[in-house]
Amino acid sequence: MKPSLLILGAAGRLGLCLTRAFAEAGWQVIAQARKPLPADLLGLDHVRALNCDALDRAALIKGAQGVSVVINALNPPYTEWHRLLLPMADAAQATAKALGALLMLPGNVYNFGSELPAVLTPHTPERANTPKAGLRIEMEARMAAEPGLDSVVLRAGDFFGGPGRGTWFDLALISKLKSGRFIYPGPLDQTHAWAYLPDLAECFVRIAEKRAELKGHHRLHFAGHSVEGQVLHQAFAQAWGQPLKAGDLPWFLIRLGSPFVASWRAIAEMRYLWQKPHRLDDAELRRLIGEPPQTPLVPALRASLEALALVAPTSAAASAEVLA
């Protein structure tokens, strides 16, 4: 029998993918969430729900006895990061340490600040020159400095795929697909890092399988799909099944409204990610697990649209013919 793990934030977009991936790999999954999990997940073998607040350390420790891995997949809304991100991270850290478990965290590129270089390695200097960079750097520093805690940060680009909404993928890129438009927040000739969530979740499984080798703190990068906007545009058209016109995100309106709308203000703070080309170097991840999982881009986009219940105007089989 495979070992067991605790997934914090199992009802979130990544949490749902992680729960499914680990359960299908035979792990015993304790899925923490405040709201009910989807029936199809609860119907899987090896999945048990733990309904409690993510800040309730006593409930987490009591409900997850015997686990060998804890994954902190908690992600409060952007507007609540200053209030909740570090307390949630501290609760996850304390739980993992009390259980003697490996703590795993999905990281992002915020740590490198607004002047992030084109190639990001686990050793690239971090710069706390944005509010979110400072919080993420502090969060990971606490993990690394905790005596007796084994931990892994798996850093990835922007998420797409899986159920749910709330990422650049659905807030921008697909927001006008039904009108025949592909909305891109930056220059189409610059590279941006993306992570297809089912692939990222499978990568977590493969790393967790190496738990015995992972002593101390480790930082790994998941390369995912690092592509120029124009390449993503063409792939989207194939996945959608018809040509799409490229359009810009209305940054001017977002800036105007940001003093009055907190979510717009949080989005405006992240514009630099679309002005700086970047990709993640996964050499150290490859040394640990071998070839990382990677679904080809067009099938990954098509599956992502299906997961969001968007019906393409032509069948998948006809998609390639439309652009021929």
pLDDT value for 123: 96
In CATH terms, is domain 4-158+195-224+277-294 a member of 3.40.50.720?
A: yes
pLDDT for res 171 = 84
Closest CA to 235 of 172, 170, 320, 311: 320
Give residue 77's pLDDT.
Answer: 84
Six-digit token string for 120: 């990001």
Mean pLDDT rounded to a whole number for the chain: 91
Lowest mean pLDDT among 164-168, 171-175, 210-214: 164-168
Taking a C-beta distance cutoff of 8 angstroms, is the pair 198, 161 a contact? yes
Cβ–Cβ < 8 Å for 199, 224: yes
**How far is it, in rounded angstroms, from Cα 182 to Cα 101?**
43
Position 63: which residue type? G
CA distance 197 to 41: 16
Query: Is pLDDT above 80 for 175?
Result: yes
Three-state DSSP class for 269?
A: helix
Residue whose structure tokens are 């999954």:
29
Task: Label residue 1 by pLDDT band (50, 70, 90).
Answer: low
Domain boundaries of the chain, sorted by first residue: 4-158+195-224+277-294
38-42, 205-209, 218-222: the lowest-pLDDT one: 38-42
Positive/negative CA dihedral, 63, 67, 72, 74: negative
Q: Which pLDDT tens digit goes with each residue over 217-250? A: 999 999 999 999 999 999 999 999 899 999 998 8
pLDDT for 318: 45
**How high is the pLDDT of residue 313?**
37
Q: For 63-115, how does the pLDDT look when each residue is reduced to its tens digit (9 = 90+)?
A: 999 999 999 999 888 888 899 999 999 999 999 999 999 999 999 999 999 99
| pLDDT tens track for 297-324 | 999 999 999 988 884 434 444 444 434 4
Residue 14 has pLDDT above 90, yes or no: yes
Helix, coil or strand: residue 323: coil
Sheet-wide strand order for 102-107: 47-51, 28-33, 4-8, 69-72, 102-107, 151-155, 217-221
